[in-house]
Structure 1
Amino acid sequence: MASEPSRTSPTSRSSRTVSAWRPPVAGVVEVFHARFTEYAYPMHVHEAWTLLIVDTGAVRYDLDRHEHGTPHDTVSLLPPHVPHNGSPVTAEGFRKRVLYLDGTYLGDELIGAAVDHPDLRDPLLRRRVGQLHGTLVRPGEELEAESRLMFVGERLRGHLRGDPVASPRAADPVLARRLRELLDERVVEGMELREASALVGAHPAHLVRAFSAAYGIAPHQYLTSLRVGRARRLLLEGRTPSEVAVATGFYDQSHLTRHFRRLVGVPPGRFRAG
């Protein structure tokens, strides 16, 4: 279960606002969102890969005795065990979002390439990292987060190996049907992408692409649709939204409400009353 984000309030002399938590998503050690003005990081290291995007302002940092920067359209990837620091470029400071990924997530053989080119100018990668953060702040969206992280990692590996072009969509209707059957069996319990990949014997990226190509919808969207469909039936039987959320696999009532409103057009309470 995801731990609640911890926060600090801005101080009187300088602004420092932080949210940090560890989501139940394989490969993600920590999510860290921060707004700093005057604060500067001293030289330090991480055991994890540091995947950084800056939403406002800019950060300058030294990595392996070379200076780098992070304008808003850049994704920065700092390798584990390599010293670096960080400070705001201007007096306005910066607002950043960081993912700390397990030290084995990208492989030690890619550390050298990350040291040489830590700042990646790739609009698609930048957008995908932002979407992943948007998913990670919402409890109950682990399958979606795992899928988005997989595509982010795939593109990062491509950059570090000199070929950032994403793999083409894969047509494999048999594989897609096998995943659909697994999701149909596990509507309430849900399923991790890695578990599904192991059960069907396919790489997670190929599995998601095959499913999306066959059905025109991502696996996490398909599972959510099934859950909302079950929720409709239970609401029409007179069950309360809070009861229905638990019975259909949603994290809590607000999680149910968000998806129910998006797919049905009204919140579950109004649907039940009508």
Structure 2
Amino acid sequence: MRMRSQVNPSEGDPRWLSIISPQLRIFWHGRNPAKWVEPARRLYDHELVVVTEGTCRITVAGRPYCCEANTFLVVPPDILHETQCVSGHGMHRYCLHFDWIHSDVKLPPGFCVFHPARIPRHLLRLAPSFIPPAVLHGTVRDASETTQLLTRIRDLWQKQDPVRHLLCRGLLLQLLLELLAPAGLPPEAAGETADLRLAQRVRHLLQVPFPQTKSIQAEIETLGYSYAHVCRIFKRVYGVRPLFYANVMRVEKAKVVLKEGGAVEKAARQAGFNDPGYFTRVFHKLTGMTPRVFAARVARHQA
């Protein structure tokens, strides 16, 4: 087991960030009252803690870290640690359990064991050798951007849908880069950041529904890049192509209309589909059911 000291993410060589492919395992957030204490425990995987309100003290392997609002800490696996709320008005935090590299290894349903229990070594998701051997602790540079990313991950993760969880992987990568990448990057890492920014611009562009008659390719090319180039960058960052992402956003919009009792035709139109047949095919491909079956299930559940 590697013992870890503290490292400031704004220092050191950041090129390791260009080869991570993080996988989100568990996401949760919540408030804790003043003087709340979480007993000493050990994790199966890594935990990214982002404090948004109040102050807590996280003691990792006997070393205390003060985590105020808009700070973060990555707790490594199998390291004894405990958390205590030290602000009089309580605190709020986001906690994301993840692996630095995607893996199909199945872990137990929980994410920790409490002292003095130990985790069998074959169940630990230890960091790859290229990850800095230190506790990653720092200040959130852009609170607004970080909050938006956390909120988006939360909204997608709670849907318990494989497609949405795939999108969460891309957002987690974006979040880790936002928190850990220093301002001054070497040329190759700077190129990675430029690609990420382009992918972000495309994602924001596609989050606003537009008519099916309007070409996604034409819309993307208004950014000044070829469609093929943007598709390659977007897929490398988020794991899916822009058209797939746009259809996911459209189907999510259609679901909202259907849940509110709207007709299938209305849902298709408001989501940007002017061809009901194409809308039905896309909806079925992404959800495994037709819009009418989805609406019927919602109606039965609400009855």
Aligned to 1:52: 49
Aligned pair partner of 2:146 in 110, 126, 146: 126
The verdict on how the C-alpha distance between 1:72 and 1:246 changes in structure 2, with shifts beyond 3 A counting, is: same
Q: Does 1:136 align with 2:157?
A: yes
* CA displacement 1:13-44 (0-9 Å, x = unmatched): xxxxxxxxxxxxx8122112232224312332
Separation (CA, whole Å) in 1 of partners of 2:91 and 2:165: 28
Q: Does 1:205 align with 2:237?
A: yes
* CA displacement 1:124-160 (0-9 Å, x = unmatched): 663333432343234443343232122223445635x
Contact residue 57 and residue 94 of structure 1 kept, 8 A: yes
Relative to the length of structure 2, the TM-score reads 0.49
Residue identity opposite 2:27 in structure 1: V
Which runs of structure 2 are paired with 1:58-69 in the superposition (5 Å)?
Answer: 58-69=55-66
Aligned pair partner of 1:29 in 8, 25, 29: 25
The verdict on how the C-alpha distance between 1:76 and 1:221 changes in structure 2, with shifts beyond 3 A counting, is: farther
SS in 2 for 1:45: strand
SS in 2 for 1:72: coil
* CA displacement 1:100-119 (0-9 Å, x = unmatched): 00265663432523x2x423
Aligned pair partner of 2:228 in 174, 180, 185: 174
Which runs of structure 2 are paired with 1:156-171 in the superposition (5 Å)?
Answer: 158=181, 167-169=193-195, 171=225
Contact residue 251 and residue 283 of structure 2 kept, 8 A: no
Separation (CA, whole Å) in 2 of partners of 1:75 and 1:52: 5
Separation (CA, whole Å) in 1 of partners of 2:177 and 2:238: 11
- Percent of pairs with identical residues: 12
Aligned to 2:14: none
Equivalent pairs, count: 196
Please list every run of 5 or more consecutive structure 2 residues that lacks an aligned counterpart in the other structure.
Answer: 1-21, 103-126, 199-224, 255-263
The verdict on how the C-alpha distance between 1:104 and 1:244 changes in structure 2, with shifts beyond 3 A counting, is: closer
Contact residue 26 and residue 96 of structure 2 kept, 8 A: yes
The verdict on how the C-alpha distance between 1:162 and 1:76 changes in structure 2, with shifts beyond 3 A counting, is: farther
The verdict on how the C-alpha distance between 1:206 and 1:138 changes in structure 2, with shifts beyond 3 A counting, is: closer
SS in 2 for 1:249: helix
Contact residue 38 and residue 83 of structure 2 kept, 8 A: yes
* CA displacement 1:80-112 (0-9 Å, x = unmatched): 222221100124322222110026566343252
Q: Does 1:101 align with 2:98?
A: yes
The verdict on how the C-alpha distance between 1:142 and 1:251 changes in structure 2, with shifts beyond 3 A counting, is: farther
Please list every run of 5 or more consecutive structure 1 residues that lacks an aligned counterpart in the other structure.
Answer: 1-25, 180-192, 198-203, 212-216, 258-268, 270-274
SS in 1 for 2:68: coil
Aligned-residue offset at 1:60: 0.8
Contact residue 72 and residue 138 of structure 2 kept, 8 A: yes
Residue identity opposite 1:146 in structure 2: R
Aligned pair partner of 1:232 in 222, 245, 268: 268
Contact residue 59 and residue 86 of structure 1 kept, 8 A: yes
SS in 1 for 2:40: strand
Separation (CA, whole Å) in 1 of partners of 2:228 and 2:281: 33
Q: Which moved more, 1:119-128 or 1:93-102?
A: 119-128
